[in-house]
Amino acid sequence: MSQNPNTPEPPDDDRPIVFRNGTVVTVDDQRRVLTNSDVLVIGTSIAAIGQHLAVPDGTFEIDATDGILMPGMIDTHRHMWQTAMRGYGADWTLTQYFVWYYLEHGKSFRPEDVHAGNRLSALDAIDAGVTTTVDWSHGLRTIDHGEAALDALRSSTGRFVLAYGNIFAGPWEWTADPDVLAFLAKNNTGADDLRFQLAFDVTGDPAFPERAAFEAARELGLPVTTHAGVWGATNDDGIRLMHENGFMAPETVYVHAATLSDDSYQRIAATGGSVSLSTESELSCGQGYPPSWILRQHGIPVSLSVDTSVWFSSDLFSAMRSTLGADRGWEHIKAHEHGDTVTHSHLRAEHVVEWATRGGAASLGMQNLVGSLEVGKRADIVLIKNDHSPTMYPILNPNGHIALQAGRGDVHTVMVDGAIAKYDGELLGDDLASVKKEIESTVDYLQSELGEPAWTQGMNPDAPEAKMLDNPYTYTDYKDASTHQKESERADVTL
């Protein structure tokens, strides 16, 4: 139901839909921004863009006045299965994340818990205007876990890439499992709304045991996505081994890539790969400083991602904002070290808007399908409009407004493949109620499985002792010093 009783309900049939009189941020080749324009959707595709469009009889109209129409956003790296633990690890370090999920409690997740996390994460994405999500699903300990993850994606609204992985075994082991290979071969049909990757990391071991996993990916015709350049975990040796053995490809996505040498960045650039930045994660966890500045220097394509809502915001508005802040902050710091002042920012709002849309599509090989608003492309469209918020008026710089002003609460309408999934600020359908029941069951189970002490301790890790710096300008006993000063003044007067 619409929040506004005067707003007409969206159609549940295949009638054409037109967005009227909005500011259209196309993210096309010319990066056009069109004012007072309409977008007509017929079937699954964008049929026309322009002012005062003539539309077929019976077309459903959505008023986009004072709003921004943009392509559906694309998240290239989200551990969807962890969404059932939203916010649990707010104060974690990367080490604590590794210990909790990899060594201790991640193995407690049942297939139904992976299913619950994926369903909630899929709704979460749509609510924030993310229409395509890579499920970096590295909790698939068994084929039943894989089936659960896949079923959740298939039953959810959105476009997905299931990046199949298993952190509890070496990739050379689980990619040799006949059941896993059969699962991937059976389900990788090339459908526009559900594609596959293999998700695994490269340790840098000179023996290069990951070769078998790369060969399996090649045999299956699947791209590889890998955490690269993560401080203390993956390094230049992994990139070098991939390159020397011929496994770096244009479709390879390197996540974080924050602590690599120029040599590694050059190898990525030369082989046409792209980097998925999870800036909130990199800033908080310590994978390395977000490398947007050096990626720009090497001409490496960039997409954005949220990583995991166990810690961070699960929307790309936050990702755009933090990426701009981190990049600009780094430029200022480096300039100040040399006594200089930055007078012009290199990274602009339009760049991060592009990374959140078109950049993601290109990294996933979907650039001819989604990522921009153009006639003939699939109608994955987001309307940002909130007549009840002062933040959404005036709109003077549309890209700047998307990147630095708007938020998920301003997402009015979300369309995927021509079908409306969110309208007038509310998700359509009754999925949220059933998802909440699944999540409640998962949380109850995990609390019981871990026990209350471990559950509480995991959420509240010990804080290191903080030492206050000595301040030479602070009196040890201010009152005594003040009294002594006054007594001296009185003595001077008496004399």
- 350-364 per-position pLDDT tens digit: 999 999 999 999 999
Residue in this structure with the two tokens 């139904």, named with its chain if needed: 112
Q: Residue 274: which of 247, 254, 248 has the closest Cα?
A: 254
Instruction: Calculate mean pLDDT across residues 143-171.
Output: 97
Residue 13 has pLDDT above 90, yes or no: no
- Residue 4: the pLDDT is 63
Position with higher pLDDT, 495 vs 129:
129
Q: What is the pLDDT of residues 297-333, one digit of tens each?
A: 999 999 999 999 999 999 999 999 999 999 999 999 9
Instruction: Calculate mean pLDDT across residues 362-378.
Output: 98
Q: Helices 452-459 and 431-450 sit at what angle, rounded to 10 degrees? A: 110
In this prediction the pTM is 0.94
Instruction: Calculate mean pLDDT across residues 25-36.
Output: 98
- Residue 2: the pLDDT is 52
Q: What is the pLDDT of residues 456-469, one digit of tens each?
A: 999 999 988 888 88
Q: What is the pLDDT of residues 250-276, one digit of tens each?
A: 999 999 999 999 999 999 999 999 999
The full 3-state SS of the chain, as one line of letters, equals: CCCCCCCCCCCCCCCCEEEEEEEEECCCCCCCEEEEEEEEEECCEEEEEECCCCCCCCCEEEECCCCEEEECEEEEEECHHHHHHCCCCCCCCHHHHHHHHHHHCHHHCCHHHHHHHHHHHHHHHHHCCEEEEEEEECECCCHHHHHHHHHHHHCCCCEEEEEECECCCCHHHHCCCHHHHHHHHHHCCCECCEEEEEECCCCCCCCCCCHHHHHHHHHHCCCEEEEECECCCECHHHHHHHHHCCCCCCCCEEEECCCCCHHHHHHHHHHCCEEEECHHHHHHHCCCCCCHHHHHHHCCCEEECCECCCCCCCCHHHHHHHHHHHHHHHHHHHHHHCCCCCCCCCCCHHHHHHHHHHHHHHHCCCCCCCCCCCCCCECCEEEECCCCCHHHCCCCCHHHHHHHCCCHHHEEEEEECCEEEEECCEECCCHHHHHHHHHHHHHHHHHHHHCHHHHHHHHCCCCCCCCCCCCCCCCCCHHHHHHHHHHHHHHHHHC
- Residue 384: the pLDDT is 98
Q: What percent of the chain has pLDDT over 70?
A: 95
- Residue 9: the pLDDT is 85
- Residue 429: the pLDDT is 87
Residue 175 has pLDDT above 90, yes or no: yes
Q: Helices 111-127 and 431-450 sit at what angle, rounded to 10 degrees? A: 140
Question: At 491, is the pLDDT very low, low, confident or very high (cuts 50, 70, 90)?
Answer: low
Residue 481 has pLDDT above 60, yes or no: no
Q: What is the pLDDT of residues 382-423, one digit of tens each?
A: 999 999 999 999 999 999 999 999 999 999 999 999 999 999
Cα separation, 261 vs 265, whole angstroms? 7
Residue 492 has pLDDT above 70, yes or no: no
Residue 488 has pLDDT above 80, yes or no: no
Cα separation, 149 vs 114, whole angstroms? 6
Out of 7-16, 336-345, 481-490, least confident range:
481-490
- Residue 1: the pLDDT is 47
- Residue 394: the pLDDT is 97
Mean pLDDT of the chain: 94
